[in-house]
Amino acid sequence: MIEFPWIREKGPSRPIGCLTDCRTVRELSREVVESNAFGYPHTFGRAVQMVTSFSLDPVRCLELGLAKLKFFPKVKYWDENRNKKAKWNFKDFVELYQPTQVPSAASHAASYLGDVCAKIEAMDLSYSRNLNKYQEHGMPWLETCNERLPKVLPRDRLITSEMIHNGELGELERQLPVTQRHMKELRILSQLLLVQSPAIWRFHESVPTKLVLPPVVAPRPAHPRPPAAQEQRVEVADFEFEEEPDEELIDRIQPSTVPASTNARWTDLETAYVNVTHDMSHNMAYEEYKRRCKENSVAIRTFCAFKRKRQRLMQDV
Per residue in 235-245, pLDDT (tens digit) is: 444 444 455 55
- Checking if the pLDDT of 91 tops 60, the result is yes
Tell me how many domains the chain contains. Answer: 3
Average pLDDT over residues 251-264: 64
Indicate the pLDDT class of residue 53, thresholds 50, 70 and 90: very high
**Which SS3 state, helix, strand or coil, does residue 11 take?**
coil
- Domain membership of residue 80 (yes or no) is yes
Structure confidence by residue, pLDDT tens digits, 112-162:
787 888 888 887 777 778 888 887 777 888 888 878 887 655 555 555 544
**pLDDT for position 241:** 44
Among 213, 234, 254, the domain-final residue is 213
Structure confidence by residue, pLDDT tens digits, 5-44:
554 566 667 777 788 888 899 999 999 998 888 887 788 8
Average pLDDT over residues 60-78: 88
Same domain membership, residue 191 and residue 140: yes
Same domain membership, residue 200 and residue 124: yes
**pLDDT for position 161:** 47
- Checking if the pLDDT of 60 tops 80, the result is yes
Among 148, 178, 213, the domain-final residue is 213
- Domain membership of residue 229 (yes or no) is no
Structure confidence by residue, pLDDT tens digits, 296-310:
888 888 888 888 888
Round the average pLDDT of the chain to a whole number and report it. 77
Q: CA 252, CA 262: separation in Å to the nearest integer?
A: 20
**pLDDT for position 238:** 46
- Checking if the pLDDT of 174 tops 50, the result is yes
> In sequence order, what DSSP letters do the residues of 38-85 get, joined into one string?
--TT--HHHHHHHHHHTT--HHHHHHHHTTT-SEEE--EEE-TTS-EE
- Domain membership of residue 235 (yes or no) is no
Same domain membership, residue 142 and residue 46: no
Same domain membership, residue 182 and residue 91: no
- Domain membership of residue 240 (yes or no) is no
Same domain membership, residue 77 and residue 10: yes
User: Of 73, 65, 78, 95, which is closest to residue 3 (Cα–Cα)?
Assistant: 73
- Domain membership of residue 261 (yes or no) is no
Among 52-56, 112-116, 202-206, top mean pLDDT goes to 52-56
Q: Which residues, other chains included, contact 115 with Cβ-Cβ below 8 Å and sequence gap of 6+?
A: 155, 156
**pLDDT for position 2:** 46
**pLDDT for position 154:** 57
Same domain membership, residue 88 and residue 177: no
Same domain membership, residue 96 and residue 116: no
Evaluate whether 183 touches 189 at the Cβ level (below 8 Å): yes
Q: CA 68, CA 12: separation in Å to the nearest integer?
A: 11
Same domain membership, residue 131 and residue 45: no
**pLDDT for position 38:** 86
Same domain membership, residue 124 and residue 88: no
CB neighbours (10 Å) of residue 274?
A: 19
Same domain membership, residue 15 and residue 68: yes
Structure confidence by residue, pLDDT tens digits, 274-286:
888 888 888 898 9
- Domain membership of residue 63 (yes or no) is yes
Q: CA 284, CA 8: separation in Å to the nearest integer?
A: 100
Indicate the pLDDT class of residue 57, thresholds 50, 70 and 90: very high
Structure confidence by residue, pLDDT tens digits, 261-276:
667 788 888 888 888 8
- Domain membership of residue 232 (yes or no) is no
Among 103, 126, 156, the domain-final residue is 103
Q: Which residue has the higher pLDDT, 107 or 311?
A: 311
- Domain membership of residue 223 (yes or no) is no
Same domain membership, residue 195 and residue 275: no
Same domain membership, residue 71 and residue 146: no
Evaluate whether 96 touches 71 at the Cβ level (below 8 Å): yes
67: containing domain: 1-103
